[in-house]
Amino acid sequence: MRRYQLLTSLTMNFRMLLRRKIVLAMLIIIPTLFILIVRLTSSKNAFFFQLGIGDENNSIEQVQGNLILVFVTLATIGFLASFLALNVTQQYNNINRRLVICGYYPSEIILPGLVVILSMIFIIVIPIGLCMSFFFDPMCRVNMILGFLFEGLIYGCYGMLIGSIIKAELEGTLLVILLANIDVGWLQNPVFYAQARNKTIIELLPAYYPSQIALASAFTKYSITNAILLSAAYMLAFLVLALFIFYHSTRIGSHVETNLSL
């Protein structure tokens, strides 16, 4: 890889993203709106819930508003990260093929795009995690933010994977909504999990371990080591598969267009 091409591609990616000021504004407005709604609608009554990484018969007491706030934050991060990664990947597909024809290596296009997506996920997660301090005092704030970060990274890599496979915006959006809504938006709800008839299905979904990290770190002192390792495994699996497909499609695209031009 060549330094000049990497810096040029990285600069172009950031400039194209920064031009979409409405999108950037929504990344701030949506989490703020969701958090505000949770605070206005949830009660301060004590509530009992269960975690999968604790003892089977564990029963944790917590204020309902605090519990729902962490869950809604996880869901918001998962949705935003997946949609952002999907949109960035699909938007740059045609541009990337042109850059390959102009002499760029596929790796010089993939790496800057990945840096942009990961940077935006960090920008989404870190402020939201720090804002939790205004509403309640988590037992381990750093680990709770780590759970949020894994949620964003896993669903960001999932969005990249869908964007690499599906070129049409509507189909890609539906696939992102399908998994994100069922997984992080519904089944990872600790209230639903406590009464679930088949918890194994929930535990196999991508958002399970990041959700457990965030919830356990916010309200308990349970060990989260295994959850961290398994979250990293999910993230790497999505990332490697997404990068492989993206790299392969970029090379194939360049060969086809080069032959057509000849």
Segment 38-50, tens digit of pLDDT:
888 888 888 888 8
Helix (H) or strand (E) run with residue 63 in it:
strand 60-63
121, containing H or E segment: helix 106-131
- A 10 A CB-CB count for 59 gives 11
Q: How high is the pLDDT of residue 256?
A: 44
**Per-residue pLDDT at 146 exceeds 90:** yes
Yes or no: say if 74 and 214 are a contact pair by the CB < 8 Å rule: yes
**Of the candidates 173, 159, 180, the residue with the CA atom closest to the CA atom of residue 245:** 159
**pLDDT, mean over the chain:** 84
Span 139-149, mean pLDDT? 94
Contact 206, 234 (CB under 8 A): yes
Question: For position 87, what pLDDT does the model report?
Answer: 84
Report pLDDT for 57. Answer: 63
Relative orientation angle of helices 208-219 and 225-261, to the nearest 10 degrees = 140
Full-prediction pTM beyond 0.85?
A: yes
